[in-house]
């Protein structure tokens, strides 16, 4: 044997060492790739969390600056100084803030424990919003019938360490003031001079109103920056007329979604009060059919829901039109609602967004639920009366939770 020839056993050892080295190098590379991916995921989570914080702050600020929303918050905090001030005109200024739960113009809670969508949360909640409200009387008076300012101090912080572990999100703090009382009755803030003097103008004469008319409150802004105002409704005090509209297209056969949806809708009906609330049920597929007209006999509605079967096609516009027609016989005192549940997207008929606009113009508030990962969320959000009136749900418990939240928003869930 020549000296430069390797023994087979030596070659085997060399191959083993090579394999180990290659494996080690691959492990290092894989670890590096994993760390980079993990870092990018963490960065994405951080960005999303900051975006959520910004949205919470914007919504809270809008609420604190809305006279209608603060009036509603006063009603929902009986016994508070804010309630005493707004309700009886007995306003007592104080240097100490009063911790209160605030509600927006639609009655949605905007402080306390919330989930990442801004909806009320009961346990393992990611967000905690604390609000302190102070009342002020003009000129330093010891009491007044109308406050010169309502100042809200807020803090938005992470409530649960289970969300975004290992990442610290400093609390967001700020102050928002409601000072619409500086203008005479029937007039609203229209602007401010360079010297800081507030300008007032009758609502119908000003194109730049910073306030909504009495009985309404700001719920957002349009593309030109003008306030969007909506009627303030205390659903606890009024009867409702509702239409349940269920997508019964062929895709609802998948995973037996149609049966699951029927169970959830029947569960929702149990929260209603048959002595004052009336309902109807419609199905939508290639066309739309009113299965049960507006009635206070809930068993009839449940029977109609239980007997529904999945068919072909999804004509959302037809479903919206049928749901609205069912509410045409509602009494003037009844507030009209529609709950539209769909698992997919529109496949025929007119533009559902345009159809929804006509329905809303009739004073009907539309809630939508996307009951599938494949649901057309963009369209369903635009169909809903507001972004908060759209819900995501892919399982029975999520669909039930969405409908129960609608029952809570309309003051029907105990």
Alpha carbons 173 and 153: distance in angstroms, whole number: 8
Residues 135-152, mean pLDDT to the nearest whole number: 84
Alpha carbons 147 and 86: distance in angstroms, whole number: 9
Q: Is the pLDDT of residue 131 over 90?
A: yes
Residue 34 is predicted with a pLDDT of: 46
Which residues 6+ apart lie within 8 Å of 226 measured at CB?
Answer: 207, 208, 209
Which residues 6+ apart lie within 8 Å of 308 measured at CB?
Answer: 246, 248, 258, 262, 283, 291
Q: Is the pLDDT of residue 3 over 50?
A: no
pLDDT digits (tens, 9 = 90+) for 298-343: 999 999 998 888 777 788 999 999 999 999 999 999 999 999 998 8
Name the least confident of 22-31, 139-148, 296-305, 359-368: 22-31
Beta strands 127-136 and 112-114 are: antiparallel
Please tell me what DSSP assigns to residue 235.
G
Alpha carbons 66 and 102: distance in angstroms, whole number: 11
Name the least confident of 89-93, 215-219, 267-271, 337-341: 215-219
Kindly report the three-state secondary structure assignment for every residue of 339-407: EEEECCCCCCCCCHHHHHHHHHHCCEEEEEEECCCCCCHHHHHHHCCCHHHEEECCCHHHHHHHHHHHH
Q: Is the pLDDT of residue 164 over 90?
A: no
Beta bridge mates, 240? 335
Stated as kind and residue range, the H or E segment containing 133 is strand 127-136
Name the least confident of 35-39, 94-98, 199-203, 235-239: 35-39
Residue 98 CB: number of other CB atoms within 10 A?
14
Residue 189 is predicted with a pLDDT of: 53
Residue 205 is predicted with a pLDDT of: 40
Question: Among 414, 398, 332, which residue's Cα sits nearest to residue 119?
Answer: 398
pLDDT digits (tens, 9 = 90+) for 279-299: 999 988 888 889 999 999 999
Residue 208 is predicted with a pLDDT of: 38
Buried residues in 269-302 as b, exposed as e (16+ CB within 10 A) = bebbeeeebbbbbbbbbbebbbbbbbbbebebbb
Average pLDDT score, the chain: 78
Please tell me what DSSP assigns to residue 249.
-
Beta bridge mates, 112? 129
Q: Where do runs of H (alpha helix) occur along 89-134?
A: none
Beta strands 364-370 and 390-392 are: parallel
Name the least confident of 24-28, 37-41, 240-244, 350-354: 37-41
Residue 37 is predicted with a pLDDT of: 46
Alpha carbons 5 and 153: distance in angstroms, whole number: 84
Residue 229 is predicted with a pLDDT of: 65
Q: Is the pLDDT of residue 211 over 60?
A: no
Alpha carbons 88 and 232: distance in angstroms, whole number: 19
pLDDT digits (tens, 9 = 90+) for 335-385: 999 999 988 788 888 899 999 999 998 999 999 999 888 888 889 988 998
**pTM assigned to the model:** 0.53
Residues 162-181, mean pLDDT to the nearest whole number: 70
Sign of the alpha-carbon dihedral angle for 249, 253, 259, 264: negative
Name the least confident of 175-184, 229-238, 324-333: 175-184
Residue that wins the pLDDT comparison between 99 and 222: 99
pLDDT digits (tens, 9 = 90+) for 58-77: 778 878 877 778 888 999 99
Of these ranges, 103-107, 154-158, 182-186, 355-359, the one predicted with the greatest mean pLDDT is 355-359
Question: Among 213, 138, 216, 140, which residue's Cα sits nearest to residue 179?
Answer: 138
Residue 14 is predicted with a pLDDT of: 53
The three-state secondary structure class of 312 is coil
Residue 233 is predicted with a pLDDT of: 77
Question: Among 412, 106, 368, 384, which residue's Cα sits nearest to residue 238?
Answer: 412
Alpha carbons 126 and 163: distance in angstroms, whole number: 6
């Amino acid at each position: 044997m020549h000296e430069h020839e390797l023994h087979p056993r030596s070659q085997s050892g060399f191959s083993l060492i090579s394999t180990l080295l290659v494996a080690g190098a691959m492990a290092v590379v894989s670890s590096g790739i994993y760390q980079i991916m993990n870092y990018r995921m963490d960065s994405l989570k951080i960005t999303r969390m900051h975006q959520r914080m910004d949205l919470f702050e914007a919504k809270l600020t809008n609420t604190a600056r809305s006279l209608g929303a603060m009036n509603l918050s006063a009603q929902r905090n009986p016994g508070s100084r804010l309630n005493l001030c707004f309700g009886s005109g007995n306003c007592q200024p104080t240097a100490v803030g009063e911790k209160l739960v605030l509600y927006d113009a639609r009655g949605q809670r905007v402080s306390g424990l919330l989930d990442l969508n801004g909806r009320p949360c009961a346990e393992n909640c990611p967000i905690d919003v604390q609000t302190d409200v102070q009342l002020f009387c003009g000129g330093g008076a010891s009491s007044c019938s109308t406050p010169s300012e309502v100042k809200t101090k807020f803090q938005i912080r992470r409530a649960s360490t289970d969300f975004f572990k290992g990442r610290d999100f400093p609390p967001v703090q700020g102050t928002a003031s409601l000072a619409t009382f500086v203008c005479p009755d029937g007039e609203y803030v229209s602007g401010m001079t360079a010297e800081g003097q507030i300008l007032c103008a009758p609502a119908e004469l000003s194109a730049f109103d910073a306030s909504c008319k009495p009985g309404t409150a700001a719920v957002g802004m349009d593309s030109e920056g003008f306030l969007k105002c909506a009627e303030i409704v205390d659903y606890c005090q009024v009867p409702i007329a509702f239409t349940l509209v269920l997508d019964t297209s062929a895709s609802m056969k998948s995973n037996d979604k149609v049966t699951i949806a029927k169970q959830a809708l029947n569960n929702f009906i149990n929260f209603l009060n048959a002595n004052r609330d009336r309902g109807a049920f419609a199905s939508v597929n290639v066309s739309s059919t009113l299965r049960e007209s507006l009635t206070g006999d809930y068993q009839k509605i449940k029977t109609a829901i239980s007997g529904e079967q999945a068919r072909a096609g999804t004509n959302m516009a037809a479903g919206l039109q049928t749901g609205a027609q069912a509410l045409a016989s509602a009494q003037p005192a009844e507030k009209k609602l529609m709950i539209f549940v769909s698992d997919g997207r529109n496949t025929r008929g007119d533009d559902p967004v345009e159809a929804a606009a006509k329905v809303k113009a009739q004073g009907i508030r539309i809630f939508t639920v996307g009951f599938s990962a494949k649901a057309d969320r963009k369209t369903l959000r635009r169909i809903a009366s507001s972004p908060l009136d759209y819900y995501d749900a892919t399982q029975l418990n999520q669909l039930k939770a969405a409908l129960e939240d609608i029952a809570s928003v309309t003051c029907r869930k105990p």
